[in-house]
Amino acid sequence: MDSMRTTGMVQELDTILRTSKRRDFLKLAAMGGMALFFPPVLTGCGSDVVTNPGDPEEFTMGSAAGPLNFVNAYAQLMLDFYSRMAGYSLYSPNSSFPISGMTQQERSLIGNLIDQKGGTFLSLSTLTPHNVRVSGSLLFHFETVDFTNRDSIMPLAATLEDLGVAAVNGLMTSSVKNSTDLALLAQIASNWARHAAMINDMNDIHANGVTGLRSSFVRTVNGQGLDAVTSASDALATIQPYFINTLSITGA
Amino acid sequence: MHASTLQASSTDVAAALTVALKFKYAQQAFYTQGYTTFNATSGTSSDKFTAAEDNAVKIIRDQETAQIAVLASAIGAGAPSAPAPSSYDWTGGSGAGNGPFDQSMISRGEFFKVAQILEDTGVRAIKGQIPALFATPELTTLVQIHSTEGRHAAMVRMLRSPGGPSYDTTPPWPGYGSFAIQEIIGWDIPGTPALSGQSQIDIMTLAYGPLTPAAHYGEDPPKSPGEDNLIQSSSFYANKYVNSTNDYTPPYAIAFDEPMDATRALTVAAFFGVS
């Protein structure tokens, strides 16, 4: 596998998913109130990847798994993106941030985002039936992004964070099939909203200083105090360039 | 048809939106009084907001005001009217005016502690009401208010870190276990003593879970997370890349904000005079 095309983080976590014993799956799923959402069909055993790495992926919004898979794919994109920002990969696990001009404080928080996007990915992967979940099949590329240049990478981080919130909001309002999945995505939506506010605030502080104007944390919120909502199709148009897989949405 | 796929009645919808509206009324009153007290140019306190704090508080206050109009309109004739500002108790004293946050309108540091409680609890309270609106036209509004609330909560937390967002002080998300409490009252547990029966820790424990949580995280076999769904959890990154332990303990819980039911959310809010 070409290390330029993946950091290996997603594949590494996917390996954990595929090789963990059932007991470990249950342990994973039991954390943070997640057992409530644990579907009885999941056993955590057997082969589970139905699509080969890099193959096209279809998100069927008419199914219960479709919206969860889309959020899962988005989380994997963000995990790969922040892993590149931090300079982590399977192939050079000890490398440090190639980006210049990031404080230690900021690096620490990007590490937290790697944790939390990975948490979303792993959680949704264990909660989605193994024969339909998006995991281990997604590959990413960021040829247009200069990971040594803060001015290249941080505006993109803000765009992807804000769009992720809007996309999850959109899936909550028009795609989820039951109130249980709605509650699950709500748990992710506000966590990602916190991430989005943080990245935007980092950009404000970088531009204006910590005591200067810091307004971007709500830059997607309208005059009624309502945050953005976007369809999965619209979100896909923005994020497709970073996927090697051709992604598609049906039944939106 | 499974019960969870049934559409809520209009009464249920109004009840869910009213929980959110009560938090919005309280937050709007809190930021209005706080802005009058601490604003950078004409604040009545000698303790003044920085330009960053001044601007952010003004933005949040105005968005609370706008959301009140949206929610009241969605609820319709049954919407409660705004409580008098004097009905709130920003000391956290349940109306007695001598609670453990008695400096909240004197010191802006204390002001932001209360802001953080109101915002974090607001996120959870609204989240707790979202499932009830499944398949209703009002769902979109509450979803939009919900992620705005997440942004407000993160910003208040970031304003409380003097050097900007920081993992070491008040990260934009609640930390796990006792960290969530220590992020507010400081790292010198047991913190401020009670002035009127309730300590800051007592209020925090309701809002964030117990100071010493049950150690069900990572236990084998795992205990039911139903013991306390407020507890946030641990870190993959720290184990893998800082401690080099190859322990793949994933950051499951911290990647998910927890919901709070209306009873508990309003119990927290009642310390500040919300009824």
Query: What ipTM was estimated for this complex?
Result: 0.86
Given pLDDT bands bounded at 50, 70 and 90, which one contains residue B186?
A: low
Greater confidence (B47 vs B187) lies with: B47
Which of A104, A114, A115, A135 best tests the B interface by mutation, with the highest count of B CBs <10 A? Answer: A115
What's the pLDDT at A177?
Answer: 94
Please give the torsion angle defined by the CA atoms of residues A217, A222, A224 and A225, in that order, rounded to the nearest 10 degrees.
-20
What angle do helix axes A65-86 and A104-127 make, rounded to 10 degrees? 150
Cα distance from A31 to chain B (closest Cα, Å)? 6
Q: Tell me if A179 and B134 make a contact (CB, 8 A cut-off).
A: yes
Q: Tell me if A201 and B255 make a contact (CB, 8 A cut-off).
A: no
Nearest to B164 among A169, A205, A213 (CB): A205
Is the Cα dihedral A24, A26, A27, A31 positive or negative?
positive
Phi then psi for residue A150, to 5 deg, are -55, -40
- Give dist(CA B269, CA B230) in Å, integer: 16
pLDDT at residue A52 greater than cutoff 90: no
What angle do helix axes B139-159 and A150-174 make, rounded to 10 degrees? 150
Is the Cα dihedral B253, B258, B264, B266 positive or negative?
positive
Q: Are B33 and B64 in contact (CB under 8 A)?
A: no
**Residue ranges of B 113-132 with Cβ closer than 8 A to chain A:** 123, 127, 130-132
Nearest to A32 among B62, B220, B233 (CB): B233
What's the pLDDT at A33?
Answer: 29
Give the residue-averaged pLDDT of A186-196.
95
With an 8 Å Cβ cutoff, is A210 touching chain B? yes
List of chain B residues whose C-beta atoms are within 8 Å of the C-beta of residue A31: 217, 222, 225, 233, 252-253
pLDDT at residue B51 greater than cutoff 50: yes
Structural element, H or E, at residue A247: strand A247-250
Q: Are A189 and A169 in contact (CB under 8 A)?
A: yes
Report the residue of chain B nearest A178, measured CA to CA.
Answer: B5
List of chain A residues whose C-beta atoms are within 8 Å of the C-beta of residue B225: 30-36
What's the pLDDT at B257?
Answer: 78
**Residue ranges of A 58-77 with Cβ closer than 8 A to chain B:** none
Cα distance from B32 to chain A (closest Cα, Å)? 16
Tokens of B190: 């047991």
Provide the 3-class DSSP secondary structure of residue B204. helix
pLDDT at residue B262 greater than cutoff 90: yes
What's the pLDDT at B180?
Answer: 64
Provide the 3-class DSSP secondary structure of residue B91. coil
> B126-150: per-residue pLDDT in tens?
999 999 999 999 999 999 999 999 9
Q: Are B89 and B97 in contact (CB under 8 A)?
A: yes
Among A33-37, B62-66, B236-240, top mean pLDDT goes to B62-66
Tell me how many residue pairs between chain A and chain B have CB atoms under 8 A apart: 277
Is the Cα dihedral B167, A227, B129, A34 positive or negative?
negative
Q: Tell me if B143 and A213 make a contact (CB, 8 A cut-off).
A: no
Provide the 3-class DSSP secondary structure of residue B73. helix
Q: Tell me if A225 and B153 make a contact (CB, 8 A cut-off).
A: no
Greater confidence (B70 vs B2) lies with: B70
Nearest CA to A27 out of A126, A132, A128, A131 is that of A126
- Average pLDDT score over chain A: 79
Given pLDDT bands bounded at 50, 70 and 90, which one contains residue B107?
A: very high
pTM for the structure as a whole: 0.85
Tokens of B112: 């932001």
Beta-carbon count within 10 A of A18 CB: 16
Nearest CA to A70 out of A207, A143, A141, A166 is that of A166
Q: Where are the domains of chain A?
A: 13-35+56-250
Provide the 3-class DSSP secondary structure of residue A243. strand
> B210-240: per-residue pLDDT in tens?
655 444 444 433 332 333 333 333 334 433 4
* H helix and E strand count, chain B: 8, 0
Phi then psi for residue A58, to 5 deg, are -115, 130
- Give dist(CA B152, CA A48) in Å, integer: 40
Cα distance from B8 to chain A (closest Cα, Å)? 11
With an 8 Å Cβ cutoff, is B151 touching chain A? yes
- Give dist(CA B56, CA B69) in Å, integer: 20
* H helix and E strand count, chain A: 7, 2
Nearest to B171 among A31, A112, A180 (CB): A112
Provide the 3-class DSSP secondary structure of residue A121. helix
Tell me which amino acid residue A149 is: N
Is the Cα dihedral A235, A238, A242, A248 positive or negative?
positive
pLDDT at residue A230 greater than cutoff 90: yes
With an 8 Å Cβ cutoff, is A106 touching chain B? yes
List of chain A residues whose C-beta atoms are within 8 Å of the C-beta of residue B229: 32-33
What's the pLDDT at B185?
Answer: 62
Note every long-range contact of B49-57, with CB atoms under 8 Å and residues 24 or more positions apart, other chains counting. Answer: B49/B108, B50/A211, B51/A211, B51/A212, B51/A213, B52/A210, B52/A211, B52/A212, B52/A213, B52/A214, B52/B159, B53/B108, B53/B112, B53/B159, B55/A213, B55/A214, B55/A215, B56/A214, B56/A215, B56/A217, B56/B155, B56/B159, B57/B31
Among A40-44, A159-163, B168-172, B173-177, top mean pLDDT goes to A159-163
What's the pLDDT at B252?
Answer: 54
User: Which region holds residue B107: left if phi is over 0, alpha if psi is between -120 and 50, else beta?
Assistant: beta
- Give dist(CA B235, CA B254) in Å, integer: 8
With an 8 Å Cβ cutoff, is A105 touching chain B? yes
**Residue ranges of B 3-62 with Cβ closer than 8 A to chain A:** 4-5, 50-52, 55-56, 59-60, 62
Greater confidence (A198 vs B185) lies with: A198
What's the pLDDT at B254?
Answer: 65
Q: Tell me if A197 and B155 make a contact (CB, 8 A cut-off).
A: yes
Q: Are A91 and A3 in contact (CB under 8 A)?
A: yes
Q: Tell me if A180 and B4 make a contact (CB, 8 A cut-off).
A: yes
> A134-153: per-residue pLDDT in tens?
666 788 999 889 999 998 89
What does B53-93 look like in DSSP terms, one character per residue? HHHHHHHHHHHHHHHHHHHHHHHGGGPPPPPPGGG--TTSS
Is the Cα dihedral B85, B90, B94, B95 positive or negative?
negative
What's the pLDDT at B101?
Answer: 92
- Give dist(CA B148, CA A227) in Å, integer: 5
With an 8 Å Cβ cutoff, is A180 touching chain B? yes
CA angle A31, A33, A38 (to 5 degrees): 85
Cα distance from A202 to chain B (closest Cα, Å)? 7
Of A198-202, B92-96, B237-241, B261-265, the least confident: B237-241
Chain centroid to CA B222: how far?
28
Given pLDDT bands bounded at 50, 70 and 90, which one contains residue A108?
A: confident
Given pLDDT bands bounded at 50, 70 and 90, which one contains residue A22?
A: very low
Chain centroid to CA A66: how far?
15
Nearest to B151 among A105, A197, A229 (CB): A197
